[in-house]
Structure 1
Amino acid sequence: MKKTLHLWHRYLGLVVAIPLIIISLTGSILVFKEEVDHWLMPELTVVAGTSGQRLGYDVLRDTVNSALNGYEIGSWEVFDDGQTADRIYVLKHGTNEWFKVYLDQYQGEVRSQPVAVNHYLTDWLLDLHYKFLIGDTGLWFTGVASLILLFMGISGLIIYRQFWKKFFTLRLKVKRIALFSDLHKLVGIWSAPVLLVIGFTGVYWNISEIIHHELEHSQEEQHVITGRLYNHALSLDKMMAEASQQMGGFQATYLLFPYEPELQVTFFGEVADTSFVTSEYSSTVSFDKQSGGRLSNYDIREAPFYLVAVDSFRKLHFGYFVGLPSRIIWCLIGLTPLIFTVTGCYMWLKRRRPKKRLSRITQPI
């Protein structure tokens, strides 16, 4: 059993080495996506404001609509940290194509023209990380890679089930193959818990997206937007005030507008008195797109345990649940598949060569 598991561990690792390296390295960079964007594109992504001085949602919406004639707002990422610009995702009339713009929420200024959602470097890396740049088909590849990563972590712990005995074992004055073997095991032991979390949450998201696309939308055509699908006279500020009153301190972090006929206006956000792994999109309040009347609200504090657990996957996957320390750890762990690939391939090659030499020696002349 152990030998068979070892073979699966070895050969699956060789098969998916390159995809796992791509996913892991891009993931390590994306842990610091905001910082990278601020460094590369300060003219677009960095704003000068003080928390609490945002302009009203109605004013900002009118600003975007005036500046982007021929586009409709589909969704809106909201920031109020005094330094990060809002991100607006719009659809072009006559298409179902999404574009992205940056908005200075303190000065009321649209800072960029609409560009493809993977136009900027970190957005391109996110597409590479999530879909290998090949659209929904890429979900299958990253899903399989995540499953294998999960298997590698579990099988590694089983193979080296007495791992606690070698928690700090790294022999330096030995042959390279022994050194690489120790390094492979040591890095695996230390990184396994985090890799299991990343692998499991990645598998869940991929499977969820695949089910959504293949089953729910397999027979549907995407709606081609030709105009506004909601009553523009509705006040987003009033909706926000009602949402905050309804759920006591609700803070919006994401707005979803009706870009398909069956959708309503929905505010995603966070509430007080939640776990440190509760995401910033954990609670929602929906409003009728024509009358503005409140339809429903979803408070994560009243949700069953399994939904609370699923919500925590976002912070657990990207590692920002305790701020900078956990992000640094997740970033470093993301580099470990490169170590596994180098050490694993080296050991595989070295162990094959003696067998080849022996087979040539024993062949009859």
Structure 2
Amino acid sequence: MNVRSLRRWAAVHKWTSLVCAVFLLLFCLTGLPLIFKHELRELLSQDPPYAALPADTPRASLDTIGAAARRRHPDHVPMFVFVDDDEPKVTVGMLPSPTALPTQTRLLKFDARTGELLKETEPAETSGPDFLDIMLRLHRDLFAGLPGELFLGAIGLVFAASVVSGVVLYAPFMRRLEFGTVRWRRGRRLRWLDLHNLMGIATMAWVLVVGVTGVLNELSRPLFLLYQRTDVQAMLAPHRGRPVPPLDRLSSVEAAYTLVQRELPGRTPTSVVFPNNRVGSPHHYLVWTKGSSPLTSRLFTPVLIDAERGELAMVVDLPWYLRAIQVSRPLHFGDYGGLPLKVIWFVLDLITIVVLASGLYLWLSRRRSPIEAQLAELEGVADEA
């Protein structure tokens, strides 16, 4: 590779790195606690303990739990029931009206075996976000909603260009040194340059995976809106114009949950969304199911149950782009392999922070040097012109 090509690749690497460096540091810093999001929520939780019962104690009926939630808030309407498969918990989400905003959702947590109400969480718009919620919003959209997600998605693409250009430059810049060499006695800047190159190339594959999956996650909202306006509209065309049935005409939620368990033996129902005009169908229970293996447990398939007759209406095949997003989420945070994989993700995140910080230091320490001088400093590459 001649000097002209090196100069171009070096310019691409420098400017793409500078454009995204601050945002990437924000991603990495906010991502550290999000890797252990579930563990931190359990650690910080002040929820009452579950009843001490035998492990094979059957779950209470979802109809009984739903009726208890409606008795507690007769002026609200149920929107969903979530059945946790990690702990004996059933959560009922309720809104003051069918048209209320999601931020007005009131969460009621029940012991799944006894049906006893354990905790009630006020709506987010009144209780405010906690620490992990703030970290997630900063990581996802900078509190800017969809524009923030699209902007950070673009930053992710710039970061991918930075990684690729860094890989291209690594071989010619380090061709006279053995892999892993750090010239400790050649000055602080050169020492940090070697460390920057070594840690960057060693974590290159992981960084690309996290970066690309991060871009996919940022596109989840617009892609889901596309799915709603195309496939979902076509799917629900026969029911268009029909009002949402009142609660007293709906069939049993427990029966719908059990029906899905029986008809789809390889999948586990996780939640039941009540008929509505916002998310799902105005005439069906929307039952979300997941697989049983570590990977398929992150792949969710929706099932439609006729809400009045209690009959299986459809098992929905999601389009490939939504499947890609489902796969990208556990890869992004490393939460599909248990605590050991999360620890690995945490260490790699820390290394990436060092790579980003050292890159900024290298640029600031030589910000007035021409690119030719930098290329000449890095093992005499300029002599090959």
TM-score (norm 1): 0.80
Q: Which residue of structure 2 aligns with residue 12 of structure 1?
A: 16
Task: Kindly indicate whether the alpha-carbon contact (under 8 Å) linking 1:20 and 1:337 is maintained by their aligned counterparts in 2.
Answer: no
Residues 1:20 and 1:307: Cα distance change in structure 2 (over 3 Å): closer
The reply on whether 1:58 has 2:78 as its aligned counterpart is no
Task: Kindly indicate whether the alpha-carbon contact (under 8 Å) linking 2:106 and 2:122 is maintained by their aligned counterparts in 1.
Answer: yes
Unaligned runs of 5+ in 1: 221-225, 359-365
RMSD of the alignment, in Å? 3.5
Q: Number of aligned residue pairs: give it.
A: 344
Looking at structure 1, the residues matched to 321 and 154 of structure 2 have their Cα atoms a distance apart, in angstroms, of 24
* Selected match of 2:253 from 216, 236, 245: 236
The reply on whether 1:188 has 2:200 as its aligned counterpart is yes
* Selected match of 1:105 from 108, 111, 118: 111
Looking at structure 1, the residues matched to 55 and 363 of structure 2 have their Cα atoms a distance apart, in angstroms, of 55
Looking at structure 1, the residues matched to 61 and 179 of structure 2 have their Cα atoms a distance apart, in angstroms, of 55
Task: Kindly indicate whether the alpha-carbon contact (under 8 Å) linking 2:244 and 2:276 is maintained by their aligned counterparts in 1.
Answer: no
Looking at structure 2, the residues matched to 154 and 255 of structure 1 have their Cα atoms a distance apart, in angstroms, of 44
Amino acid at match of 2:94: V
Partner SS, residue 145 of structure 2: coil
* Selected match of 2:212 from 200, 208, 222: 200
Q: Which residue of structure 2 aligns with residue 177 of structure 1?
A: 189
Unaligned runs of 5+ in 2: 234-242, 374-385
Amino acid at match of 1:113: T
Looking at structure 2, the residues matched to 13 and 322 of structure 1 have their Cα atoms a distance apart, in angstroms, of 31
Amino acid at match of 1:319: G
Q: Which residue of structure 2 aligns with residue 80 of structure 1?
A: 85
Task: Kindly indicate whether the alpha-carbon contact (under 8 Å) linking 2:47 and 2:118 is maintained by their aligned counterparts in 1.
Answer: no
Deviation at 1:294, TM superposition (A): 0.9
Q: Which residue of structure 1 aligns with residue 305 of structure 2?
A: 287
Choose 1 or 2 for highest CA Rg. Answer: 2
**Could you give the per-residue CA deviations for residues 37-83 of structure 1, whole angstroms, max 9, x where no partner exists?**
11112326x64566554322222222222223433333444313236
1:244-263 → structure 2 map (5 Å cutoff): 244-260=261-277, 263=281
* Selected match of 1:313 from 311, 328, 335: 328
Q: Which residue of structure 1 aligns with residue 345 of structure 2?
A: 330
Looking at structure 2, the residues matched to 199 and 148 of structure 1 have their Cα atoms a distance apart, in angstroms, of 10
Partner SS, residue 181 of structure 1: helix
Amino acid at match of 1:175: G
The reply on whether 1:346 has 2:368 as its aligned counterpart is no
Deviation at 1:348, TM superposition (A): 0.7
**Could you give the per-residue CA deviations for residues 13-37 of structure 1, whole angstroms, max 9, x where no partner exists?**
2222222222222222111111111
TM-score (norm 2): 0.76
1:264-283 → structure 2 map (5 Å cutoff): 264-272=284-292, 274=293, 276-283=294-301
